[in-house]
């Protein structure tokens, strides 16, 4: 049979292990290690085109100096993008699972 001192040591060791495991799972990763996603090219106010093909969307990015020709980016969430039309009447919320491609227009080979 275990004596009282051994039981206290085992309980203390168990508490330390549980607390260490909890702190390891709840620790936030450093900001400099943020994973890049394909939505990182979509900056607020950026001019874009929006084309629907077979129930999936293609988003075309224009250079930052272009004025909006069809839509502009008004919000980028973790799993969605909100695009506003040129006359600012309609916002289109596009979930990431329905984005087929993001095309970047490069003028002059830049």
Question: What is the spatial distance between Cα 3 and Cα 17, in angstroms, rounded to a whole number?
Answer: 22
The whole domain housing 21 covers 4-32
Contact 93, 84 (CB under 8 A): no
Question: Residue 17: its pLDDT value, please?
Answer: 79
Question: What is the spatial distance between Cα 45 and Cα 102, in angstroms, rounded to a whole number?
Answer: 16
Q: Give yes or no: residues 69 and 47 share one domain.
A: yes
Question: Residue 28: its pLDDT value, please?
Answer: 58
**Domains in the chain: how many in total?**
2
Q: What are the pLDDT digits (tens) for 56-79?
A: 999 988 777 776 678 989 999 888
The average pLDDT across 9-24 equals 77
Q: Retrieve residue 12's tokens.
A: 């203390």
Q: Give yes or no: residues 20 and 63 share one domain.
A: no
Q: What are the pLDDT digits (tens) for 20-62?
A: 777 766 555 565 666 677 788 888 888 888 898 888 999 988 7
Question: Residue 84: its pLDDT value, please?
Answer: 93
Q: Give yes or no: residues 58 and 99 share one domain.
A: yes
Q: Give yes or no: residues 27 and 46 share one domain.
A: no
Distance set, CA 14 to CA 7, 11, 24, 78 (Å): 11, 5, 15, 37
């Amino acid at each position: 049979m275990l004596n009282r001192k051994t039981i206290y040591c085992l309980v203390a060791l168990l508490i330390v292990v549980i607390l260490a495991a909890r702190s390891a799972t709840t620790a936030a990763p450093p900001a400099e290690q943020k994973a890049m996603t394909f939505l990182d090219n979509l900056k607020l106010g950026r001019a874009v085109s929006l084309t629907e093909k077979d129930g999936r969307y293609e988003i075309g990015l224009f250079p930052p100096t272009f004025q909006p020709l069809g839509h502009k980016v008004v919000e980028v969430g973790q799993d969605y993008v909100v695009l506003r039309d040129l006359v600012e009447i309609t916002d289109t919320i596009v979930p990431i699972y329905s984005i087929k491609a993001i095309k970047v227009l490069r003028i002059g080979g830049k």
